[in-house]
Structure 1
Amino acid sequence: MRGILMMMLFAQAASAVKHSLEFDLMLSSGFPNVPEYVAMEILDGVIIAYYDSDIKTGQTRLEWVRKLMQNNSQHWEMHLQNCIHYQQVFKVETLSFQQSSNQTGGGHVIQQIAGCEWDDETGEVEGFKQYAYNGEGFLTFDMQTQTWITSHPQAEKTKQEWDKDKINNGHWKNLLTTDCIAWLKMYLNYGMTFLYRKDPPSVSLLQKTPSSPFCCHATGFHPNNAVMSWRKDGEELHEGVEDGEILPNNDGSFQMSGELNISSVAPEDWRRYDCVFQLSGVKDDIVTTVDKTVVRTNHGKGGTKEKPSDLSIAIIVVVLIIVFISTAVGFRLYKKRKVTEMTPELSQRLNPETSGTNTSSTQ
């Protein structure tokens, strides 16, 4: 179950022109079948690289990232070595979290999110770095003052110690507002075609048993700006409806599900109900009518589902754990972003030497 921590990394944009690059880390103890150390690199809400202390190597599910790794192997080797080295640094620098909380037994999770944002319209850049302990916000780095802001009373001692380290604080500000932005632009430039593509989903209706809710499952779509809803006689439904989360697939596309409970409705009236899927930037909605001839069950048509890869399982498990712990106490681990439209202006900003020319990436 190594993957629960990763599923909720996928995003909702606060601004249509902001792009983000994040380095999300987790150090845990006392949780069986969960790696002690997990690191993820996330571009505009898409996990582009994954590492944990069990697999001991960097991995990606995305073909364009594999090619970028081959073409810029020094960059990726630097990131991998930094990731491995930082596991020990992470342990040392956060040792005080557990000491200050007077907790010595049970499970513990320390999380760090660090990264940068770039507004491709205004050119504004922002770095961010924050820590959480057992799901509670603990410390946040103030880039302007290069000091630490406490989010928990027990973080005060750590804040005082870290505020004294001017050199390290200056290093983090430079890394997150300069180097990180350069990496972000490089990834955007190389991954344009992949990140800004529009793939429609495959939509299926599923039902476990005759009395179970109907599940509308859409998979293979991109980007992750999507909405699923249910209608009856053309009118949107809210009662008996359960919304699902948008989750990652192996290939960098996304999936989502929504449930409708109409167990009291006679089969001859099922066709009054529709599942509606809306993908951002696509004019036509995908409407799937509830019909007993197309509903798939455990013993019905449709074949078997594709078995997920070990990496995907790991990512999913890790994400779910992080989200469960974080949302339970209100710590916002992920600055959720959605991929925006590629414009000539953005292409020119990424490639000033090809003024006015839209540059596409190699996948």
Structure 2
Amino acid sequence: IAKMVPVLLSLPLLLGSTVPQGTQAGPYLLTFLYTGLSRPSKGFPRFQATAFLNDQAFFHYDSESRKAEPLGPWSQVEGMEDWKKESQLQQAREEIFLETLKDAMNYYKESTGSHTFQGMFGCELQNNRSSGAFWRYAYDGEDFIEFNKEVPAWVALDPAALNTKKKWEAEKVYVQRAKAYLEEECPGMLQRYLNYSRTHLDRQEPPSVTASSHMAPGQNRTLKCLAYDFYPQGIGLHWTRAGEMQKLELERHILPSGKGTYLSWVVVGVPSQDRAPYSCHVEHRSLAQPLTLLWDERQTASAEDKVETPRPQ
């Protein structure tokens, strides 16, 4: 126990990705996502951890490399973290994390099959002040245990977690340290990281926008408006018909592009006899004013066409 709990107390938690991006004052989030597998498939590590600043992954560790390594623009930043020391810390976390997975499996007498243990924990700053934090775990996709810093106490969310709760609360001082970690240590760490990262996290990348049309024989036409290469994530995207917003959408998605930006699209159906003008409207923080991309069916010359507006400069 004396070995387990202090290491766990150094683990930072995931505040959902749906928290809106803020102004220069935040919110900013430091989040860690941990995953342990009892029987990993080929090509998957037994344990891996990824740390995020807001929605941007900034370092990764896994049980194959045994190294914590900065990602993306943070690989060019000097002095943000002692990566050798961070690697050693992640190795200790890996050991404790997989031990807890084994405890849960033993409780349910699950010696066969593949089982998963996940941890999410971290903190948030708004206007340079701590504005939220949480710390929770899941076993095979179901809630397992979480820390309630108001009580403070570990709360078992699964029968097997009662054993874990007893281990982690064997000495009351460890509960107080967990509370201190979430309320003081994690926000302090996030503030230090922001000294190196604020410019990158506050950046605004405007979207490029295209509109396309498709009509299969005997079917209605579909119009698709695609916005891509934008940051931050929040975006307003919709079609209008003769100036009126269309609410009966066939599709609406927003996804990471894989290069630190996002892409989003919205699709509507248009009856074959409809000749009204359609426009795609785009609103994003990076734009001084909304973009409007006109699609006029009367200008369509074939069953599939495409128009594009250049990316704002």
TM-score normalised by L of structure 2: 0.75
For 2:12, the equivalent position in structure 1 comes to none
Q: CA deviation at 1:295?
A: 10
Q: 2:253 is matched with which residue: 244, 250, 260?
A: 244
Q: How far apart in 1 are the matches of 2:71 and 2:214?
A: 30
Q: How far apart in 2 are the matches of 1:294 and 1:45?
A: 41
CA contact (8 A) 1:9 1:47 kept: no
The residue type paired with residue 44 of structure 1 is N
Counterparts of 1:203-218 in structure 2, within 5 Å, are 203-206=209-212, 210=216, 213-218=222-227
Q: How far apart in 1 are the matches of 2:122 and 2:135?
A: 7
Counterparts of 1:293-312 in structure 2, within 5 Å, are none
In structure 2, do the counterparts of structure 1 residues 61 and 273 end up closer, same or farther at CA, with 3 Å as the change threshold? farther
Q: How far apart in 2 are the matches of 1:295 and 1:29?
A: 52
Counterparts of 1:59-74 in structure 2, within 5 Å, are 59-63=69-73, 65-68=74-77, 70-74=78-82
For 1:346, the equivalent position in structure 2 comes to none
Q: Judging by fraction of residues, say which structure has more helix.
A: 1
The residue type paired with residue 193 of structure 1 is T
For 2:126, the equivalent position in structure 1 comes to 119
For 1:219, the equivalent position in structure 2 comes to 228
For 2:142, the equivalent position in structure 1 comes to 136
The residue type paired with residue 272 of structure 2 is V
The residue type paired with residue 257 of structure 1 is W
In structure 2, do the counterparts of structure 1 residues 204 and 50 end up closer, same or farther at CA, with 3 Å as the change threshold? farther
**Once the two structures are aligned, what percentage of the paired residues are identical?**
21
Q: How far apart in 2 are the matches of 1:51 and 1:239?
A: 44
The residue type paired with residue 209 of structure 2 is V
Q: CA deviation at 1:25?
A: 0.7
SS of the equivalent of 1:191 reads: helix
For 1:202, the equivalent position in structure 2 comes to 208
For 2:55, the equivalent position in structure 1 comes to 45
CA contact (8 A) 2:252 2:265 kept: yes
SS of the equivalent of 1:164 reads: coil
Q: How far apart in 1 are the matches of 2:303 and 2:88?
A: 49
TM-score normalised by L of structure 1: 0.66
Map Cα deviations across residues 183-217 of structure 1 (whole Å, 9 max, x no partner).
Answer: 21122232222211221111223568746854432
Q: How far apart in 2 are the matches of 1:156 and 1:181?
A: 29
Structure 1 position 110 matched with structure 2 position 120 = no
SS of the equivalent of 2:254 reads: coil
CA contact (8 A) 1:22 1:113 kept: yes
Give the aligned length. Answer: 285
CA contact (8 A) 2:203 2:231 kept: yes
- Runs of 5+ consecutive residues of structure 2 not aligned to the other structure: 1-14, 309-313
Q: How far apart in 1 are the matches of 2:104 and 2:130?
A: 33
Structure 1 position 259 matched with structure 2 position 267 = yes
In structure 2, do the counterparts of structure 1 residues 57 and 219 end up closer, same or farther at CA, with 3 Å as the change threshold? farther
Higher relative contact order (CA 8 A, sep 6+): 1
Root-mean-square deviation (CA, aligned residues, Å) is 3.5
The residue type paired with residue 282 of structure 2 is F
Q: Which has the larger radius of gyration?
A: 2
CA contact (8 A) 2:66 2:87 kept: no
- Runs of 5+ consecutive residues of structure 1 not aligned to the other structure: 1-7, 303-363
